[in-house]
Amino acid sequence: METMKIIMSRILDTDYSLKRKLVSRNSKNCYLSTSLSTCNTSRKDGLFVCKDSQRSQSYQVLLSHLDEIIINNGCFYELGFHQYPNSFYPKGLKYIFQVKQEPHLTYIYAMSNVLLKKELILQPDKAELICKYTLLESSNEIDLVIKPFLAFRNIFSLNKASAKDFKVAFSNNGLSVSESKDYPELFFHFSKKIIFTETSDWYYNFEYLEDKLTSSECKEDLFMPGQMLVSLKENETFSISIGLEKWQEVQKNMYSFEYKENKQFYRQNVNS
């Protein structure tokens, strides 16, 4: 992780938090890049960006974002933070309580009586990102909804919904997403049983501040294959492995999931 000094008292200042970039790289031509606010500010940003020499000589943004929603006693807390034309949505920046850069990028979110830790661990010698959630404090069990936003493009281009045709495949111990032979298949594996609801939605008009300042092209659409739901108790941990390895090559402690077709437990679309 490329470290920098963080002034937590200024985290709610978007002019401050949008302009500070957090970057992690590994030996397998993969990197993670986003702003302190968690809002991507450049087309080159993403949580899992890799170079597959068999398909392209440039880096490819596969996973752009992971958005979370905490459901606690009927209340919904959306932790995502994105820039759209003339607005930011959701408002998850206000829940960031602490950010750590070592030994890996870690966010701690605080809301009501809930304290949630999110760790983003780019494996040093594998094309794999581990996203680990730990419920540090809570007076009761919570539901955690996770929404992956996918790009599947090179770092110099931008997406339009009509130009992509994603395919989602399922197995007993994970799911995978593919778009075409030009991009590698992306695999998701889970550390405990989840409920997955397939939605195959497009979210429109994500805006990138750095590109807006230097180019007329600064907006793109991102694909969300579905929503993952897991229940957590205090001190319980849940991990997602996201990478290029196939199911049979993944550790045996990754478990199966329950698949729900067209029964959405939560959905919020933004069309700006």
Structure confidence by residue, pLDDT tens digits, 154-202: 999 999 997 788 999 987 668 999 998 889 999 999 999 899 999 989 9
| Cα four-point dihedral sign 208, 211, 215, 220 | negative
Q: How far is CA 145 from CA 49, 53, 192, 195, 265, in A?
A: 23, 34, 14, 9, 9
What are 57-101's pLDDT values in tens digits? 789 999 999 999 999 999 999 999 999 999 999 999 999 999 999
Instruction: Confirm if 105 and 24 have CB atoms less than 8 A apart.
Output: yes
Give the per-residue pLDDT at 254.
43
More confident residue, 157 or 269: 157
Evaluate whether residue 266 is within a structural domain: no
DSSP 8-state code for residue 234: T
Average pLDDT over residues 36-58: 89
Evaluate whether residue 232 is within a structural domain: yes
Give the per-residue pLDDT at 248.
57
CB 252: neighbour CB atoms within 10 A?
A: 6
Asked if pLDDT for residue 252 goes beyond 60, the answer is no
Query: How far apart are the C-alpha atoms of 158 and 172, rounded to whole Å?
Result: 33
Evaluate whether residue 78 is within a structural domain: yes
- The domain total for the chain is 1
Evaluate whether residue 131 is within a structural domain: yes
Instruction: Confirm if 128 and 241 have CB atoms less than 8 A apart.
Output: yes
Q: What percent of the chain shows pLDDT beyond 70? A: 88
Q: What angle do CA 121, 241, 43 make, to 5 degrees?
A: 65
Q: If you count DSSP H runs as helices and E runs as strands, how many of each does the chain have, helices first?
A: 2, 19
By residue range, what is the domain housing residue 215?
8-261
Query: How far apart are the C-alpha atoms of 253 and 108, rounded to whole Å?
Result: 25
CATH number, domain containing residue 188: 2.70.98
Lowest mean pLDDT among 23-32, 215-224, 253-262: 253-262
Evaluate whether residue 197 is within a structural domain: yes
Evaluate whether residue 69 is within a structural domain: yes
Q: How far is CA 271 from CA 69, 138, 177, 243, 247, in A?
A: 19, 34, 24, 29, 35
Q: Find the radius of gyration of the CA atoms of the chain.
A: 17
Buried b (16+ CB within 10 A) or exposed e, 99-132: bebeebbbbbbbbeebbbbbbbbbbeebbbbbbb
Evaluate whether residue 45 is within a structural domain: yes
Evaluate whether residue 1 is within a structural domain: no
Give the per-residue pLDDT at 3.
83
